[in-house]
């Protein structure tokens, strides 16, 4: 399993891909708002059709449940928290009501100081909140090959930011998917469409909570 995790570490750092794209399915006329999925290759859906990436699957699930919200995929493969912070002004051009923020994994995989990553994520959340955007923060965990101390410090980033900024926290974005055979591509790194289905199920209740707090239906 450690070998798989090591490969996962290297690949997330080096993957490059296309820029953000609109998730499958056009906004309906009675759409109540816009959700932007903001992150790296795990959000972009590296290696799977756009319709199978989690933002597209999330939009379908929301619509099926009666929440007529548009979900935009703003993931860029290989991006760090520094890159995400630099994109906040661009992100606001999409006029999001809710942002699902998934970033920091590439920082950790490169051995970046967790405090530096925490500050970046905190700045992103603070900036979005200052613009009236509700944030759902996707928690990430780093691989143990960097040692228990680093692993613990990295894991603590997300609950700390969520608590201090009072945002909704998804405890672990890749829960029940990371390292699972059959739920990742042949590289053993990125989720398959089926894997993203599980990610969607993980994220969904937290997004619904955000929608309700926003007063949407």
Of 81, 97, 107, 190, the active-site residue reads 190
Pairing of strands 168-170, 134-138: parallel
Distance of alpha carbon 41 from alpha carbon 173, whole angstroms: 13
Of 40, 41, 81, 97, the active-site residue reads 41
41 is catalytic: yes
Q: What is the DSSP letter of 24?
A: S
Residues 6+ apart with CB under 8 A from 44: 17, 18, 20, 53, 73, 75, 76, 77
Task: Provide φ and ψ at 98, rounded to 5°.
Answer: -135, 140
Contact between residue 123 and residue 85 where contact means Cβ atoms under 8 Å apart: yes
Catalytic site positions: 41, 187, 190
């Amino acid at each position: 399993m450690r070998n798989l995790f090591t490969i996962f570490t290297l690949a997330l750092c080096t993957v490059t891909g296309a820029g953000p794209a609109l998730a499958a399915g056009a906004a309906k006329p009675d759409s109540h708002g816009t959700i932007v999925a903001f992150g790296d290759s795990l959000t972009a859906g590296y290696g799977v059709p756009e319709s199978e990436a989690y933002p597209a699957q999330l939009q379908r699930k929301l619509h099926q449940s009666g929440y007529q919200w548009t979900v935009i995929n703003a993931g860029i493969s290989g991006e760090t928290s520094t890159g995400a912070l630099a994109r906040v002004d661009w992100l606001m051009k999409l006029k999001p009501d809710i942002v699902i923020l998934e970033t920091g994994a590439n920082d950790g995989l490169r051995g970046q100081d967790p405090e530096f990553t925490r500050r970046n994520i905190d700045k992103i959340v603070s900036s979005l909140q200052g613009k009236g955007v509700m944030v759902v923060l996707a928690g990430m965990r780093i691989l143990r090959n960097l040692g228990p101390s680093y692993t613990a410090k990295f894991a603590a980033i997300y609950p700390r930011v969520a608590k201090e900024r009072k945002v909704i926290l998804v405890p672990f974005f890749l829960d029940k998917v990371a390292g699972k055979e059959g739920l990742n591509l042949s590289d053993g790194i990125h989720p398959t469409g089926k894997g993203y289905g599980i990610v969607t199920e993980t994220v969904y209740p937290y997004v619904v909570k955000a929608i309700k707090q926003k007063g949407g239906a």
